[in-house]
Amino acid sequence: MFAILLNSRCLHTSVRRLAGVDKATLSKLRKKTGFSIMHCKNALEQFNNDLEKAEHWLREQAQKEGWVRATKLQGRPMSQGLVGILKDTHIATMIEVNCETDFVAKNSKFHDLVARLTTACHENFVKLNQPRCDLNTDALATVPAGNGKTLADIVAMEVGNIGENIATRRAVCLTTGNDIQLGCYVHLAGPQIQTNSDCIMGKYGAMLTLKQVSSEVNPELSLDETTHLICQHIVGMNPKVIGERGEEPTSEKVSRPTEADNESESKSNPDGSDEEEVPKEKVKVEENRLIYQEYLLDTSITMGEFMENNCVDVLDFVRYECGEDLENSHS
């Protein structure tokens, strides 16, 4: 009998503690924000089940905690992350968002963050209306993200939620006119990432602008397919510049003699004369000009020949590789 009374008293206490919080509102707030049940419950108790006020308070608290945690985590290396691309008819935006681990890069919360940051950045670029615009980390931090927040605010809040260092590294947009084709492509070694936005994501991304040129031959492929394949080539072959037609392709260079070669040369030339050394071997070097590279899907032709066969000229391109050394990248 005593045990029954004790259990009923405990049950009564538990019900009384939850009596002030509407369960449906609690569930809605939890689903909307992703915060813990305890945090959502505390927020609803403070604001008498006012969903809007409770959500606003929760996000403010998360942002404050996020800024503190973000400051503590500064300096920790971030080699992982994703590249996000958002494209309209005449403008496309690409952004790189870094994190510390591949585990977080595969997390749906991180995917939603990348989509949100890409969208906010894209909307900002639309207002600027420039042919091309590049933003570095510092410039990205100040980009408006709605409701008086910046990209830095959004990132800080997610640092508080995820518990790992996150940063927007760089972003770029390309804008075209009516007679210019705009293309983009992302590559991800794994399942396609699904979000509730039009943002596409991957470890590598490329965007380009090109135009059709008059020719006596008919294009082999459609313009959309040609654009897609050139973007794919750029991701795979990593050109640095477009290149000028009429230049000599760089396919080989003479190697520098090694120490062993010098010793061998000294033995064969004992009198120490200053005769010019004859190179004994040639080394193939990477071609970094787009139009002189071997086409990724058909190495019997160059990318320049592929473009001629499809009556297009590339006007501009940009390639992102998540975590790459920016000193050696094309941007």
pLDDT at 129 (0 to 100): 87
Least confident of 135-144, 196-205, 239-248, 307-316: 239-248
Q: What percent of the chain has pLDDT over 90?
A: 45
Using an 8 Å Cβ cutoff, are 293 and 319 in contact? no
Per-residue pLDDT tens for 210-234? 999 988 889 999 999 999 999 999 9
pLDDT at 262 (0 to 100): 47
**Other residues' Cβ atoms within 10 Å of the Cβ of residue 276:** 5
pLDDT at 63 (0 to 100): 64
Residue 255 has pLDDT above 90, yes or no: no
Mean pLDDT of 11-26: 60
Per-residue pLDDT tens for 133-147? 999 999 999 999 988
pLDDT at 265 (0 to 100): 47
Question: What kind of architecture, by CATH, is found in domain 80-244+286-328?
Answer: 2-Layer Sandwich (3.30)
Residue 280 has pLDDT above 50, yes or no: no
φ, ψ for residue 222, nearest 5 deg? -70, 160
Q: Which tokens sit at 225?
A: 């397919």
Residue type, 101: T
Mean pLDDT of 15-38: 71
Mean pLDDT of 24-48: 80
Rounded distance, CA 101 to CA 116, Å? 20
The C-alpha angle with vertex 64 and arms to 60 and 70, in degrees rounded to 5, equals 135
More reliable by pLDDT, 23 or 92? 92
Domain boundaries, the chain: 80-244+286-328
pLDDT at 215 (0 to 100): 81
Residue type, 51: L
Q: Strands of the chain (E only): list them.
A: 80-87, 91-99, 132-136, 144-146, 149-150, 166-175, 181-187, 200-202, 204-212, 252-254, 282-284, 294-295, 298-302, 312-321
Q: Using CB atoms within 10 Å of the CB of residue 6, give its burial: 0 to 12 exposed, 13 to 18 middle, 19+ buried.
A: exposed
More reliable by pLDDT, 139 or 161? 139
Strand partners, 181: 210
3-state helix/strand/coil string of 8-47: HHHHHHHHHHHCCCCHHHHHHHHHHHCCCHHHHHHHHHHC
59-63, 164-168, 213-217, 241-245 — most confident range: 241-245
